[in-house]
Structure 1
Amino acid sequence: MAGRYFDEWLIGQEINHELHRTVTETDNVLITTLTHNPQPLHLDTEYAENSEFGQIVVNGIFTFGLMIGISVSDTTLGTLVANLGYDKVVMPSPVFIGDTLRCTTKVVDTRPSKSRPNCGIVSFKHHMHNQRNQIVCSCLRTALIKAKPK
């Protein structure tokens, strides 16, 4: 199990996740069609080339999902009870096909659960960066995590 128990988290801890991912056209087409998103900026090359971006922009749902997915193995894999929420999701820079993305995480809050004595709540600030070190997505994730077994 790679995830950490509630008792193992400290406010201010930072993780540079080792897994990086280069975004492919297939990634973008699959997520866009799976979610029934008809936005031509994600699917229509001619439309996208005439936009302010000059090319296809990767669907933000993919970027967000990849950011969370990359973070799981180093944070909550096997210790998560439930994700309680995702707040302050922002995408300040676009992602393009061929961009290589990486994720960082910082613990911003921890507190024992009031309703579950064997669990605690950890708030993570996740950031996704491209190869130019621009932040392309960030969010605050709040998770209910198991305490270390006694």
Structure 2
Amino acid sequence: MAGVWFDELTVGQTFHHPIRRTLTETDNVLFTAMTHNPALLHLDEEYCREHTEFGQRIVNSAFTLGLMVGISVGDTTLGTAVANLGWDEVRFPKPLFHGDTLRVETEVLELRESKSRPDQGIVTFMHRGYNQHDDLVAQCKRSGLQRKKPKDT
């Protein structure tokens, strides 16, 4: 099990996730098409060259969010999560483009014992995604229900 038990987490603890991912045109177009998002910003290169400040297609922010959280799972919640409770304060201060590489850091913001589940607690993470130039491109708070370490281990 790769994840961390609730009672092994500390507020302020930061994970520098070793997995990085270079985003491809296929990633962006496939995700955008699979989610029925017709936005020209993700699909139409000519439109973007002529009508946007970016001059090229940008990566779908929903893909960026999912990838950022997904990269964090192995180090934080794999095998220890009960449920994802929500995402808050999702922000994309800069766009990602085809060929950019995403790296992710996660900070533990809050820990709260569950009142109804004595073997679990609620953790709030702040995920931050950066491109290869160390520009902040995405961030979100994520709350989850996390298992405590079993007494017999």
Per the TM superposition, whether the score is higher than 0.5 is: yes
Which stretches in structure 2 are left out of the alignment for 5+ residues? none
> Residue 14 of structure 1 aligns with which residue?
14
Q: Which residue of 2 aligns with 1:69?
A: 70
User: Residue by residue, what CA displacement relative to the aligned partner does 1:60-114 show, whole Å, maximum 9, x if unpaired?
Assistant: 0110000000000000000000011100000000000000010000001001101
Q: Deviations over 1:24-54 (max 9, x none)?
A: 0000011100110000110001001121101
Residue 86 (structure 1) aligns with: 87
Q: Which residue number in structure 1 is paired with residue 130 of structure 2?
A: 129
What is the CA RMSD across the aligned residues, in angstroms?
Answer: 0.5
Q: TM-score, normalised by structure 2?
A: 0.97
Residue matched to 1:99:
100
**What residue in structure 1 maps to residue 5 of structure 2?**
5
1:41 and 1:123 map into 2 onto residues whose CA distance is 32
Partner of 1:49: 49
Question: TM (normalized to structure 1)?
Answer: 0.99
Structure 1 segments (4+ residues) deviating >4 Å: none
Aligned counterparts of 2:81 and 2:132: Cα–Cα separation in 1 = 30
